[in-house]
Amino acid sequence: TLDDLRAGAGAGMGDEDSEDGTAAVAAAAQEGVDMATMTDEELQSMPLGEYFVTTLSDGTEVELKPNGKAIPVTFANRNEWVDLVVQTRLYESKRQADAIRRGLSAVVPLKLLPLLNWRELEVHVCGRPVLDVQLLKANTTYGGCNAKDEHIQFFWQALTNFTPEERAMYLRFVWGRSRLPLTSKEFKRKHRIDLLRINTGDVNKALPLAHTCFFSIELPAYTTLEAMEDRLRYAFTNCTAIDTDGGPREIWSDDEDEEFE
């Protein structure tokens, strides 16, 4: 209110002390104006240090109304300025949001969307952001080994110990995606662990082998949990491409290409 503005001037508020009217108090102090003696009309028309412009997320400055750069914000029109800033910033991405809405409507009937909040919708569309170890375990099959084997127990303990980011990296390594289906019924293919037999050398230095197209991993029978964590982490951290993402010609030589012709 105007009385608050006068009280602020009397208290000598600086730029850092309050919100509404602080800039006006500071400007008046610099000009040597005693706001406590100003009439209501004079206070209403006194500039607050802003103009009818705002800056968008990309750094672009836009006018909130025609010739907004030349219209100062005053105590009288401050509410209009606030409303225009809020409206402009909230709707600056309307074109992009409308495009997303049209795309989403091609998959999900828009009438169903009000049944979910945005977090629930994200989970249904993208899956849970954190890999559910128990869900993956319940949808895993084995080849040449079984769930009771020591190295398999090390595997599940290692996956549990990993951070959410590392779990997502493992899933990408073994399947090419970072999130699981929501329920067991939605697994079109089961996660599979096969024994990778190491006949020579130290088994704890061997690396696992993933088959992303088949959602499977060939896993050496590591003898310690530390080895399991270290070798898995090394594999999914350093092998981020999926099969021939780099292009066949980066893998085969010209001579090898001729053999396939």
- 215 burial (CB, 10 Å; 0-12 / 13-18 / 19+) is buried
What are the angstrom distances between the C-alpha of 201 and each of 72, 171, 198?
A: 78, 28, 7
189 C-beta neighbours (distance < 10 Å), count? 13
Q: Token pair 């270290």 is at which residue?
A: 230
- The single residue listed with the structure tokens 């300025």 is 81
| CA-CA-CA-CA torsion sign (203, 205, 206, 210) | positive
Amino acid at position 205, single letter: K
Instruction: Give the span between the Cα atoms of 75 and 40, in whole angstroms.
Output: 10
Q: Is the dihedral of CA 194, 195, 199, 202 positive or negative?
A: positive
| Among 105, 103, 191, residue whose Cα is nearest residue 143 | 191
Q: Is 126 a catalytic residue?
A: no
CA pair distance 175, 156, nearest whole angstrom? 17
> Catalytic: which of 126, 145, 213, 239?
213
Q: How far apart are CA 83 and CA 192, in angstroms?
A: 57
Give the H/E segment covering residue 256.
helix 254-260
| End-to-end CA, the chain | 84
So which residues are the catalytic ones? 213
